[in-house]
Structure 1
Amino acid sequence: MTEKATNTNRINFYEEKKWIMAYWFKTRQNINFSENQMLTQWSIWWKEDFGSSSGQIFQDTFTWIKQIVRTMSKAEIKAKRHEVADFSSMPPYIKQLASRKGYYVKKCSTRKHPLRVSGYAIFKNEKDKKPIYGKKFNLTAQQIKEILEAKEDK
């Protein structure tokens, strides 16, 4: 199930978020796994993805996460979550566009924290430590493209 197949273009990193949520529920022992609990936690992390628990996309996501939590171990869920994040590599045109504009684009590593979405950030150069756009590595490839296209060539 891809973002395009589920028609969730407004929810960035949808597949990753589902695996992150499954991992979070699997690692919590005294949490009641319910629609309300999932909506509350999802809203804390990614505020504007779901407005209520009545939508079809939310219901499908809840059912999927419930099934994953029941059938997979914590290690399996974590491995799949990293697999999904690592599979989505940076499009080559993003690197080319960034270098043409005089910037450097970096993808966040998900290895250090299993609850972090693996987005992108824009830096002035490769050695910079602080990004100038996407301070929490929360930009999608499309957002990076739009930001860079708005900049002048160097």
Structure 2
Amino acid sequence: MKNIDRIIQISVLAIVSLAGCVTTDAVQMPVGSNEHARLDDYCKGISNSFECAQAIERIQLPKYSEFVQRKGDTLAIRLKNGQKLNIKNRGKFGDLDDRVQLYSFRDYFQKQGILVIEIHYWEGGEYLLVNTATGQQSKVIDIGDVFPVPSRSLVY
């Protein structure tokens, strides 16, 4: 079964490579390009994922301070409708506790109106997407690629 899955993955990659780009509403964007992936460049020389996320947060927070601010162990989010949403860490970095949840602001997808917050667990992590208009929250395993059409994105 794993071989079949691998063949499907390779086939999809080949088709995507041949396609070259996706055209949507007269805007072209190369398949697989993700302008937000550049943030990982701020992590050169950092081997810990939480420390990397904190480095990214320090760069990103000033850019999007109208929507999100760090107040100690809490991310304070201001929605477009004026409501506030506080997302507070549970535990501290280095705690050997499987209940630890640490939140780091990563990015803002302006066209989609989505804040991207990285969640760090004792082992592993995921992302929390927050709609800046409604406050609706969704967890995803990976950010994926965001396409130029506000209603479309690809997540993993």
Q: What's the TM-score once normalised by structure 2's chain length?
A: 0.27
By percentage of residues, which structure has more helix?
1
Q: What's the TM-score once normalised by structure 1's chain length?
A: 0.27
